[in-house]
Amino acid sequence: MNYRANVDALRSLGAEAIVTVSSVGSLREELSPGTFVLPSQFLDFTKQRATTFFDGGRVYHVSLADPFCPELSRLAAETGRSVGTPFAEGKTYVCVEGPRFSTRAESAFFRSFADVIGMTLVPEVTLARERALCYVCLAMVTDFDVWADRPVETKEILETMQRNVERMGRILTGFLPRVAVPPACACARALDAAGV
């Protein structure tokens, strides 16, 4: 997937924010399948993806200390509570290359510092910041990663997603109109102090 082309296209069309919906595996007992998660941090364990627009010419050292838009995260959390589907907030998402699932050893390792695992967050989140776009990830836990009793099965993931489509639809129906107003956060100024 050409992540850079997608993010650039959205920016050139006038987008100010990117809202993603993602399925993730759980690395925690308390985050059972069907739980909705709002990550606040991420760890990048991808290996082959272009993660920056600044790989030639002028360089910007963009801060990702807080990689997700605080305003969109707040609005998403409020919306989830208002429709009876609260998010587990403040979680760490570890992004892996895929398409394969983790080994048991990898899963045990990732559990030592992350809460959920997925394959789609990076580099979208970093590219969005480099284009001064707000970014938020609405993640749905579809399975326990392989640290649990049995290996991950694609059938289980698809069944969990199907069961939760309506719940995510209610969140998006309430959330997206709130995103349509000009952002009040600092995301649009991400490059102001980043240039060299």
The yes-or-no answer on residue 145 being catalytic is yes
Q: Which long-range contacts (CB under 8 A, 24 or more apart) does 154-161 make?
A: 156/33, 157/23, 160/23, 160/33, 160/34, 161/23
- Catalytic-role residue among 44, 55, 66, 143: 143
Q: Give me 112's structure tokens.
A: 């030592």
- 46: CB partners within 8 A, 6+ apart: 95, 96, 97, 122, 123
| Three-state DSSP state, 164 | helix
- Catalytic-role residue among 8, 44, 115, 145: 145
The yes-or-no answer on residue 44 being catalytic is no
Q: Which long-range contacts (CB under 8 A, 24 or more apart) does 77-80 make?
A: 77/38, 79/171, 79/174, 79/175, 79/178, 80/36, 80/38, 80/171
Catalytic residues: 143, 145
